[in-house]
Amino acid sequence: MADLVLFHHALGLTDGVRAFADRIRAAGHTVETPDLFDGARFETIEAGVAHAQEVGFATVLDRARAAVDGLPEGLVYAGFSLGVLPAQQLAQTRPGARGAVLMESFVPPSEFGSWPAGVPAQVHGMDADPFFAQEGDLDAAREFAGSGVAEVELFTYPGDVHLFADSGLPGYDQDAAGLVADRVLEFLDRLH
């Protein structure tokens, strides 16, 4: 079984993020869900991003690094939206990463150096999501998937909702979220 660290999105560590983690746990994997906002939750993406900006993105990334400091190597790093930043940074820079699951966001790997050899990744997002598809994340993910640098699976889902896999939010898409969870579980099962 895999050991996964799942980072929350800009709304905070919501019940929907916890429910997603529970689904992965139910399949026998271990999942850590660090709270990078110290318990703060937000009603809108804009409010959550404003909070991250106020705290400082560097501080958010430092909190993520501190959350995994005592954990062994061999982790899979995952994140939803804003949580992709620490997940991707740790997958690229912390020794021993086994994989990355990047949901509803993606940044060019050059942001954190280079992609480590042998570390596979999955990227998930809706094909008309204004944050993922229209701000360059999807294009960057396509380029990365086609680069041959790593084994990368890119999955797009029909729709224009951001945070569609969080079961506690109004934009929750049960069918698409179910596919994400199934594909993540298949990915984790292949890692050992």
Would you tell me how many other CB atoms lie within 10 Å of the CB of residue 16?
Answer: 20
**pTM (2 decimals)?**
0.96
CATH dotted code for 3-190? 3.40.50.1820
> For residue 51, is pLDDT > 80?
yes
**Mean pLDDT, the chain, integer:** 96
Identify the bridge partners of residue 9 per DSSP, sorted by sequence position.
12
Q: What is the per-residue pLDDT for 149?
A: 86
**Tens of pLDDT, residues 7-32:** 999 999 999 999 999 999 999 999 99
Q: For residue 19, which of 152, 172, 188, 191 has the smallest C-alpha distance? A: 172
Annotated domain spans of the chain:
3-190
CA distance 68 to 31: 12
Tokens for 120, please give them. 């596979």
CA distance 138 to 125: 8
